[in-house]
Chains A and B, each alone.
Chain A
């Protein structure tokens, strides 16, 4: 998959403050690329530079084969921006808003009308096309915000926290829409404070902090950077004569098992992710005539990973 965005050694200063410090990453064509970072990490500044809104001091940015410093106008034509703030006109109806923004990209006449209608349909607002934003719910306004950014069918869509403050139904609609956009060939750069969302829809994720790249990769790769342990909890019932300590020792000797703790009819067992040795553990439990009532696992998630890598929570 060829890269549609390549950022190399990007430096962006605001006076004495270095907002982006020699940041490098690339985004493959057709993928959903997540950009994660705490407040002030430099992710919005990075998006702002990529989308041609801000200048930068050093580095090189190539988007769809065009160098940013040389072909700003060409890049503008292929980018669609869905900003974090709802950027629509309250005195214009939904369809007028979408039409206006799409018209700035040169769409006219029937092509413009079709594109606007399609964008509204895509975000599920076609029946509200005459409604003015001030009369819409928060979720509907968010969806309109997306429609305004995608009506001109951009190759690269930059979405800055598009689900902030929306209800679960609208969030689901938005996330599904993003997947559909991807299936139609668009590349999406996505930021969100909702870690679960990022894990759910992003193919690859970059974690940045203080303007620097901390880590990047798939969700699994990022998690494995901080730990390779998976914890299982097995609910059972021990008889009064059952030697729990001996059984714990036996389990510990199994390959991949790092730690075993038995407490109140629950066996907590830490196993190396790579070894995938839970089968042997279960065989051992069954061989001792124990009944398994419930089993569940806990994997270190992106939240834990983020915390470990950056030293602070996302918000």
Chain B
């Protein structure tokens, strides 16, 4: 058995085409998609610059000052700009000719009126900002009526955002401009779009293993070496299993190399813990092994060139499965694609440390491996080489 595994490994490591497609190309894609194309996946770029002008009807100077403080606070000088206007008609005209995103009118005695422009994403963003403002005011008002003490020194309302990175606190001097009532704490890995592509490329090479599995037998046929292998004193089922197991070094090397290059060269992140990364590796290993076994089974019947036949199918699955960009998501198709499911399980492990979906993927892979291996052995045992 070690002879065939050793031979397969040598062939893999000496085949420049294989090395390019299974080791170098995926690593390059992590870098290219993560850095060059990442701007197209960036939320800031998707929303664009938000320019808001606001008009205050309120006569109460304290309220007006609070609104001005809020406008200053959310203006980051880059993406969001909120400026005061005294000429409501001129601002409305600016919205109409698309020079600004929207005009917000703070009504007297209470309420907010938004005059929206033509940028629907911008409109939704402005509405979200103003809803947040209104809800915060409402919370402070409720607290002042129900429990004024909670707004005194030491009292605070806290919340942790879903991403685990920000902590909000409304305290006794919440509306003072001298105090930041939103602070951030780094509770984990600082994620970038590279992390997305590190996982999606790992999924890609894992699914391309289907093709290398197909080559396990078609290449022996093309080399005319199949008959020599069959002639050697050994059972056919043993030969079939050895050929499948012979691909293990390839699976291990392609997965490890991509993970290491992504992390150490391109500074992408997988799971935050060793255990998570090990589990992630194990899951992709199981999926790759199952796909190689499936590929080998297909290779027993395939008369055409495997890459030319299978690559278009895989490419379509990867395109609609969000491997190349997360922007493609068709709800009737995408969630059912195997690569999307594996990718999601990987995100579950890396982002949230949840292993349930990963375990399901491993279980399905094990069943697929056992089924295709058994079927392959049965067919190979009866198949007559010409």
Which residues from chain A sit less than 8 Å from chain B, CB to CB? 51-55, 73, 76-77, 79, 81, 83, 85-92, 96, 100-101, 103-106, 148-149
Contacts and interface: CB of A to CB of B under 8 A. Distances in A.
Contact of B224 (A73, A86, A91): A86
Query: 10 closest Cβ contacts across the A-B interface?
Result: A104-B232, A85-B224, A87-B224, A91-B14, A76-B233, A103-B3, A87-B225, A91-B11, A77-B233, A87-B228
Nearest to A96: B10
Given A104-B234, A148-B228, A89 B3 contact: no
Contacts of A90: 223
B384 A101 contact: no
A81 B233 contact: no
Given A76-B233, A96-B10, A104-B3, A87 B227 contact: yes
B227 A81 contact: yes
A110 to B, nearest CB: 16
B60 interface: no
B14 A73 contact: no
Interface in B202-230: 223-225, 227-230
B7 interface: yes
Contacts of B36: none
A256 B229 CA distance: 57
A105 B232 contact: yes
A235 B225 CA distance: 56
A79 B231 CA distance: 8
A53 B385 contact: yes
Contacts of B233: 73, 76-77, 104-106
B15 interface: yes
28 contacts: A52-B231, A53-B230, A53-B385, A54-B384, A55-B384, A73-B233, A77-B233, A81-B227, A81-B231, A83-B224, A85-B224, A87-B223, A87-B224, A87-B227, A88-B225, A89-B225, A90-B223, A91-B11, A91-B15, A92-B7, A92-B10, A92-B11, A92-B14, A100-B3, A101-B232, A104-B3, A104-B233, A105-B233
Given A53-B385, A85-B224, A104-B3, A91 B231 contact: no
A240 to B, nearest CB: 68
Interface of A is mostly: loop
Interface residues of B, number: 19
Interface of B: 3, 7, 10-11, 14-15, 223-225, 227-234, 384-385
B295 to A, nearest CB: 20
Contacts of A83: 224, 227-228
Contacts of B232: 76, 101, 104-105
A73 B385 CA distance: 18
Contacts of A81: 227-228, 231
B189 to A, nearest CB: 40
Nearest to B384: A54
Contacts of A77: 233
B318 to A, nearest CB: 28
A213 to B, nearest CB: 23
Contacts of A51: 231
A52 B236 CA distance: 12
A223 to B, nearest CB: 34
Contacts of B384: 53-55
Nearest to A86: B224
B6 to A, nearest CB: 8
A89 B227 contact: no
A89 B233 CA distance: 19
A101 B231 CA distance: 10
A91 B10 contact: yes
A54 B383 CA distance: 9
A221 B10 CA distance: 52
B7 A53 contact: no
A228 B310 CA distance: 63
Contacts of A100: 3, 7
A79 B230 CA distance: 12
A92 to B, nearest CB: 6
B7 A89 contact: yes
B10 A104 contact: no
A33 to B, nearest CB: 19
A104 B225 CA distance: 13
Contact of B228 (A52, A55, A96, A101): A101
A96 B3 CA distance: 11
A89 B4 CA distance: 12
- From B3, B10, B230, B232, name the one whose CB has the most chain A CB atoms within 10 angstroms: B232
